[in-house]
Chains A and B, each alone.
Chain A
């Protein structure tokens, strides 16, 4: 563990996917799904990665836990460079990280009982020697995610559980190897509103109790505020804004973040009497994107420079970074 409490550090992380167009063509294109992400996450803290579909948030999540190998930049985990580790090192890293995906119904083998699904990581990593100890561990995590009485749930099959219950099992599976970092990729977007809060509250409680770091990937800004300390706003493979969640929501700087906040509806009967000012258009294609601000074609405040040069990240106020030419200090 590095001394300053940082669990994860990303330096200019890139993940490009190669595509070839045309038969026998030697021309290679890149989909620049994640294009230069820098941030660090302290132990026991949660960060929200907020973005629309195609913004690269899922790719970033998968690259962080090395389901994808980065094309550039570095990932430091507990101060150790894990960017290109292989074999046993990678297996160790997998053990230190957990993943909860969006679709709980597709996350489990239908012919495995819940017990068997939870035992699987223990077997793969040979983490617990005896059968009794493994059972003990499985029951303990089921209790941790509040699927009680545990004996009832352990021997059920996935189809016998509801979406919310399955997502709890998915969380149980992610924490059973006692990892340091959990990636929760849209963990509640397929669940009902009332269940969403239940699952997010559970994740938050586990994060605090087990001193986990959590990367919460979402498209819903409204859920970030109670469930994360930090927020990163992503658009078309770039991080547009990063700061504490409270700061992003109270004092958004990037025109894209402002548009997202405007577009997100709160329940209020007065909404029906007004139109929303949101930029038209759609995110750009990420195949060889132009070198400029990727939001510039939709940005209401864009000026000459925005269409010509990609802005760096400016620190507008202490700890609040924004990738926008409007915040360049002259």
Chain B
């Protein structure tokens, strides 16, 4: 019994000496469950999640007041992503981060500074041919501790409405 107490005490001491987990940067992806535009980025955004999820958190944000959990989960399931989501029904994130349309992304660093707002890429503006990988470039700059060169880009999506 005494030995158990000793082990527990040592384990507790070890845990208390562990550094708290570092807060990660976050990519917020603004969506509407009834808007199909995100399907233009099904593969590209899915690939970004896989590539950067060890260093950056990814979260979907739904701003529509009528969004239901079922619809939000269905969209993410259809897209084939493992992606947590938030409801932003009071539009706190919408006002704070200022995305324009659904499919817009916002990259926020660990200190809360916005590094990039806008389109994932310009594929929908170029009939599917991506010429500028805006979000990927911003992520690459962030993880390599370089400045983000393009901090915003116009996206194609549904108006983020009340």
- Interaction A to B: no
A-binding residues in B (CB < 8 A): none
